[in-house]
Amino acid sequence: MIEFKEVSKIYPGAQTPAVKDLSFEILEGEICVLVGPSGCGKTTSMRMINRLIEPSSGEILIDGEPNTKMSGTALRRKIGYAIQQIGLFPHRTIARNIATVPQLLGWDRERIRRRVDELLELVGMNPADFRDRYPSELSGGQQQRVGVARAMAADPPIMLMDEPFGAVDPITRERLQDEFLRIQENIKKTIVFVTHDIDEAVKMGDKIAILEQGGILAQFDSPENILTHPNSEFVASFVGADRVLKRLSLLRVADMRLDPADGADDLPTIDERLTVRDALSQIVGVGATGGIVERDGERQLLTIKAIEGLLKDSGSARG
Amino acid sequence: MGSIQLALLLQSLDQQLVDWAWIRQNYREDIVPAVIGHIYLSFVSVAIALAISLPVGIIVSRYRKAYPPVTILTGLLYTIPSLALLAILVVIPGIGVGPNAVIIALVAYSLLVLIRNVVTGIDSVPAETIDAARGMGLTERQILFKVEIPLALPVIVAGIRIATVTVIGIATIGAYIAGGGLGQLIFDGIDQNFPTKVIVGAVLATAMAVVADLLLLALERYLRPWARRVRGAS
């Protein structure tokens, strides 16, 4: 658990604070996304957690203890750290890159070797193929995977991720996001995730903290509530005019209750693993009014009407 | 022209310029000590220069304000004509003639290149690599020794290469103030009007520079294993 208590940061010589009176709480096992336009202080806020930046006032508690209780380096070895530019060590092999923190913590060689292989498997890279390569031999997507694996190496309970999937093409990014969410389901880390992309925030976050210029917390809530009830003009415009559609990307077809379909053979077939947004896009794309979902050997009907109903439901239920 | 005539011509030239018999006879007494003396001058000079440049370069890369004065000072040393510098050193009490004066001069000439390459090497380490290192909990010392210096090493060795080749060349002048080395053979040869000594000294000094250059180039490559592999998988 991470708690910001009236944290402010004013850089020397700056007129306005980078972060102002920030107070909020990140629960254990949750992904909290810090999102906002550039200059909103999201990266500064994240870097104050592991004390790469020291706040000008206020404090940050980790599990109830101020993060100033131990030395910066000791603290940072307990917190995973992954950044957009990845920052792999070019002179070290993939295995030695991943082994960085375990080595600092003095793990024995055999334990490190096992952990490296386990992590490479976890991020979908064959250890035998990649262990002894150098970062320059990897594609951007592979490097980002290694960056995330390296951040997880010593199994830290907390991870800080600053646009960790930012340096790859959109298709690879989506795949990395999905993979990471799948991994997170099992490891349940407390994650602080920085991005400027509201779509990524909605997708990745259990909670979203929207920051505005000057490091002011505009809204802190679940993605659904932020999309349904933006609390200010700024948040509404930041999440975008398509926020209704964004809400649909939070839901999967598999989660919807559907009726059996009788007949209706001319409708497109929808994969139940799709998000409702993608399903809607597929239905509208072929000019249909609904689609067929195959589930447990049964053919079920997903209509545009049912999707509309969904929006009303979640809107009022959480209002 | 027949090949026999060419061979005869070369032989006659040979007899004039290179007295092979002298080389065979004086191999041990004159040539080997000169080679050893030259290696000694060059190696000790570069080693001392490196021992000064590494810490200075590291400090300067941290405290940027110190870089311009350091550059100006080492640049000044670099521009002093070598003969003039030797002459000045010789008259300084406590130095006098001999190898020590030569070594001081050679160190002075190496500083500019070595310090510059140490700073350039450290500067070339990507900022995000250092940020990641710090974010994972490496101490400032560990960042320097485990990240910055290993990554800067190929650039530093490139500087050592330039310095070594330069030093091997300039060291020949050291014989003028009794510094020993291959320059001794050259100066003797000139004095005695005996071309063999001049040629032996010059050829060996050149060969030494070439060999040192190649060895250090190999070292430079060896220290950059990550750049030797083929880039860009999938």
- Among B129, B135, B233, beta carbon nearest to A137: B233
Contact call for B150 and A100, based on CB within 8 A: no
Q: Read off the CATH number of the domain in which B99 is found.
A: 1.10.3720.10
Cα–Cα distance, A184 to B44 (Å, whole number): 58
Query: Which residue from A minimizes the CA distance to B142?
Result: A104
Distance from CA of A197 to the nearest CA of B (A): 21
Per-residue pLDDT of chain A (319 residues; tens, 9 = 90+): 899 999 999 999 988 999 999 999 999 999 999 999 988 999 999 999 999 999 999 999 999 999 999 999 999 999 999 999 999 999 999 999 999 999 999 999 999 999 999 999 999 999 999 999 999 999 999 999 999 999 999 999 999 999 999 888 888 888 899 999 999 999 999 999 999 999 999 999 999 999 999 999 999 999 999 998 999 999 999 988 787 788 888 888 888 888 888 776 788 888 888 888 888 888 888 888 888 888 888 888 888 888 888 777 554 333 3
Say whether A266 sits in a helix, a strand or coil.
coil
Residue type, A208: I
Domain membership flag for residue B163: yes
Contact call for A136 and B129, based on CB within 8 A: no
Query: Which residue from A minimizes the CA distance to B130?
Result: A87
- B228 inside 8 A of chain A by CB: no
Contact call for A104 and B137, based on CB within 8 A: yes
Distance from CA of A120 to the nearest CA of B (A): 17
Contact call for B233 and A90, based on CB within 8 A: no
Pairing of strands A290-295, A79-83: unpaired
- B227 inside 8 A of chain A by CB: yes
Say whether A24 sits in a helix, a strand or coil.
strand
Per-residue pLDDT of chain B (234 residues; tens, 9 = 90+): 456 666 665 565 555 678 888 888 888 888 999 999 999 999 999 999 999 999 999 999 999 999 999 999 999 999 999 889 999 999 998 888 889 999 999 999 999 999 999 999 999 999 999 999 999 999 999 999 999 999 999 999 999 999 999 999 999 999 989 888 999 999 999 998 888 899 999 999 999 999 999 999 999 999 888 876 654 443
Domain membership flag for residue B99: yes
- Among B131, B137, B229, beta carbon nearest to A77: B137
Q: Which residues of A touch B121 (CB under 8 A)?
A: none
Domain membership flag for residue B1: no
Domain membership flag for residue B35: yes
Contact call for A89 and B138, based on CB within 8 A: no
Cα–Cα distance, A23 to A211 (Å, whole number): 12
Domain membership flag for residue B7: no
Distance from CA of A152 to the nearest CA of B (A): 10
- B151 inside 8 A of chain A by CB: yes
Q: Contact at 8 Å (CB) between A256 and A282?
A: no
Distance from CA of A186 to the nearest CA of B (A): 23
Tokens 């050997």 -> residue: A297
Query: Which residue from A minimizes the CA distance to B231?
Result: A137
Predicted local distance difference test score (pLDDT) of residue A43 = 95
3-class secondary structure per residue, chain B: CCHHHHHHHHHHHHHHHCCHHHHHHHHHHHHHHHHHHHHHHHHHHHHHHHHHHHHHHHHHHHCHHHHHHHHHHHHHHHHCCHHHHHHHHHHCCCCCCCHHHHHHHHHHHHHHHHHHHHHHHHHCCCHHHHHHHHHCCCCHHHHHHHHHHHHHHHHHHHHHHHHHHHHHHHHHHHHHHCCCCHHHHHHHHHHCCCHHHHHHHHHHHHHHHHHHHHHHHHHHHHCCHHHHCCCCCC
Q: Contact at 8 Å (CB) between A187 and A152?
A: yes
pLDDT in tens, A90-116: 999 999 999 999 999 999 999 999 999
CA distances B57 to A232, B43, B65, B139, B159, Å, are: 53, 20, 12, 20, 12
- B130 inside 8 A of chain A by CB: yes
Q: Which residues of A touch B147 (CB under 8 A)?
A: 89
| CA angle A203–A208–A211, rounded 5-degree value | 125
Residue B163's beta-bridge partner residues?
none
Residue A275's beta-bridge partner residues?
A252
- B136 inside 8 A of chain A by CB: yes
Instruction: Please tell me whether the interface predicted TM-score (ipTM) of this complex is above 0.95.
Output: no
Domain membership flag for residue B114: yes
Contact call for A139 and B233, based on CB within 8 A: yes
Structural domain range at position B151:
27-224
Contact call for B133 and A87, based on CB within 8 A: yes
Contact call for A133 and B126, based on CB within 8 A: no
Distance from CA of B137 to the nearest CA of A (A): 4
Distance from CA of A88 to the nearest CA of B (A): 6
Domain membership flag for residue B214: yes
- Among A77, A104, A136, beta carbon nearest to B231: A136
Residues 6+ apart with CB under 8 A from B114: B49, B50, B52, B53, B57, B156, B159, B160, B163
Question: Has this prediction a pTM greater than 0.80?
Answer: yes
Query: Which residue from A minimizes the CA distance to B224?
Result: A91
Domain membership flag for residue B13: no
The number of domains in chain B is: 1
Q: Which residues of A touch B227 (CB under 8 A)?
A: 136
Contact call for A52 and B233, based on CB within 8 A: no
Q: Which residues of B touch A52 (CB under 8 A)?
A: 131, 134-135
Distance from CA of A127 to the nearest CA of B (A): 15
Q: Which residues of A touch B133 (CB under 8 A)?
A: 87, 89, 100
